Amino acid sequence: MLRLGRREFGPHERVIMAIVNRTPDSFYDGGATFRDEPALARVEQAVAEGAAIIDIGGVKAGPGEEVSAEEEARRTVGFVAEVRRRFPDVVISVDTWRAEVGEAVCEAGADLLNDAWGGADPGLAQVAARHRVGLVCTHAGGAEPRTRPHRVTYDDVMADVLDVTVGLAERAVALGVPRESVLIDPGHDFGKNTRHSLEATRRLDEMVAAGWPVLVSLSNKDFVGETLDRPVKERLIGTLATTAVSSWLGAMVYRVHEVAETRQVLDMVSSIAGHRPPAVARRGLA
């Protein structure tokens, strides 16, 4: 079971985490949700389309203009509070690696800290423990925040992923983060080349077998683009194919841009797996 905020998710649920970037330079939308009203409209749409978690980020993952902790907090804290007011039952996640930002967003109502940079600030897990909120423990290959991988190598990429993420998860629980609120993430593209991300996907069942809920952040990423030689706006089909494979192998939470399309894919996989009945069943019964 996964417990986040007011929500509990069973072992066979496939949960959507919708991305809401509070940045002017997002790789995906170029800042479409940087201002409050478009961002709130995005939240409303995502919830209506089936997202249970909203992931709010104030700094783009890739290199770019320096964003101080103060500026990151300015972009996210007030917005978290407003989302909490308008959507009391939605799970609010904040994508940050900084403990001071994590502290501020938890005070504003966040339920989950999405640490995409693999414990770059060890204090973030302590913040999650103090506030009794969830934590995403990600493999980033030891990369510094906002850097791209360069000729990174692994003897066994999944062995490294498991060693890092399970170690971070166990540390978090030891600090006081509720075990049922900790997830592990293989960190596609983070500290990895495309072949590494493909192998991590292919062997995702090994992460599932480790016993922690697995989150995957696949949406429109470079490994999809390089695999199919497609620009950002033409990566949806590849993303959905990777989503289906990840779902079949047991991943639980999916961080996405396109909620409605992802919901259909996950529901279809759930039905094939026998965990969800068809929405209607008329064929051969008339």
Sheet holding 91-95, edge to edge: 182-185, 134-138, 112-115, 91-95, 53-57, 15-21, 253-256, 215-217
Low-confidence ranges of the chain (pLDDT < 50): none
With contact defined as beta carbons under 8 Å apart, do 93 and 111 qualify? yes
Q: Report percent pLDDT > 90 for the chain.
A: 97
Residues designated catalytic? 221, 255
With contact defined as beta carbons under 8 Å apart, do 259 and 51 qualify? yes
Query: CA of 238: how far to CAs of 60, 168, 202, 241, in Å?
Result: 22, 30, 14, 5
Nearest to 116 by CA among 191, 228, 27: 191
Over residues 30-80, the pLDDT tens digits come to 889 999 999 999 999 999 999 999 999 999 999 999 999 999 999 999 999
Q: What is the pLDDT of residue 286?
A: 75
Q: Evaluate if pTM is beyond 0.85.
A: yes
Token pair listed for 111: 């339920």
Q: What is the pLDDT of residue 27?
A: 83
Question: What's the rounded Cα separation, in Å, for the pair 247 and 205?
Answer: 10
Q: What is the pLDDT of residue 214?
A: 98
With contact defined as beta carbons under 8 Å apart, do 87 and 66 qualify? no
Q: What is the pLDDT of residue 259?
A: 98
Q: What is the CATH number of domain 2-273?
A: 3.20.20.20
Question: What's the rounded Cα separation, in Å, for the pair 214 and 131?
Answer: 22
State how far Cα 164 lies from the chain centre.
17
Q: What is the pLDDT of residue 28?
A: 83
